[in-house]
Amino acid sequence: MAVTVRARSSRLLAAHIVEELKHLIESGQVKPGERLNEATLAEVMGTSRGPIREAIRVLTGMGLVTPVPNRGVFVRRITVAEMMEIYEMRALIFGFAVERAAELLTPARRRILATLLDQMEAAAKAGRGGRYYELNLRFHAALVEFANNRRAARVYAECVNELHLFRRPPFNYAAKMQRSNVEHRAIFDAVVAGRGGEARHLAEEHVRSGRQRLLESLDE
Burial track 195-213 (b if 16+ CB lie within 10 A, e otherwise): ebebbbbbbbebbeebbeb
Per the CB < 8 A criterion, the answer to whether 59 and 26 are in contact is no
Distance CA 67, CA 20 (A): 19
Residue 152 binds which entry of DNA, its own copies, none, with Cβ cut-offs from 5 to 8 Å by kind? its own copies
Q: In terms of CB distance, is 29 or 37 closer to DNA? A: 37
Please work out the total of residues on this chain that contact DNA, with binding judged by CB under 7 A.
18
| Binding of DNA by 60 (CB under 7 A) | no
Query: Binding to DNA (CB under 7 A): which residues in 68-87?
Result: 69-72
Residues that bind its own copies in the complex, under the rule CB under 8 A = 12-13, 15, 50, 53-55, 57-63, 67, 69-70, 82, 85-86, 88-89, 92-93, 96, 149-152, 154-155, 159
Q: How far apart are CA 129 and CA 144, in angstroms?
A: 23
119 or 149: CB nearest its own copies: 149
Question: Distance (Å, rounded) from C-alpha 52 to C-alpha 18?
Answer: 8
Binding of DNA by 167 (CB under 7 A)? no
Our CA angle for 39, 43, 46, nearest 5°, is 135
Considering only residues 11 to 50 of the shown chain, the ones binding DNA according to CB under 7 A are 13-14, 35-39, 47-50
CB of 69 to its own copies, least distance (A): 5
Q: Which is nearer to its own copies, 135 or 159 (CB)?
A: 159
Q: Is 33 left (phi over 0), alpha (psi -120 to 50) or beta?
A: left
Min. distance of Cβ 97 from its own copies in angstroms?
Answer: 10
- Which residues, in sequence order, are bridge partners of residue 72? 68
Beta bridge partners of 18: none
DSSP, res 128 = -
Rg (C-alpha) for the chain, rounded Å, is 19
Contacting range for DNA; rule: CB under 7 A; set: 64-72, 95-103, 111-119, 210-218: 64-72
CB of 165 to DNA, least distance (A): 19
Q: Which does 37 bind (CB under 5 to 8 A by kind): DNA, its own copies, none?
A: DNA
Largest CA distance in the chain: 57
Positions touching DNA (CB under 7 A) are 13-14, 35-39, 47-51, 53, 67, 69-72
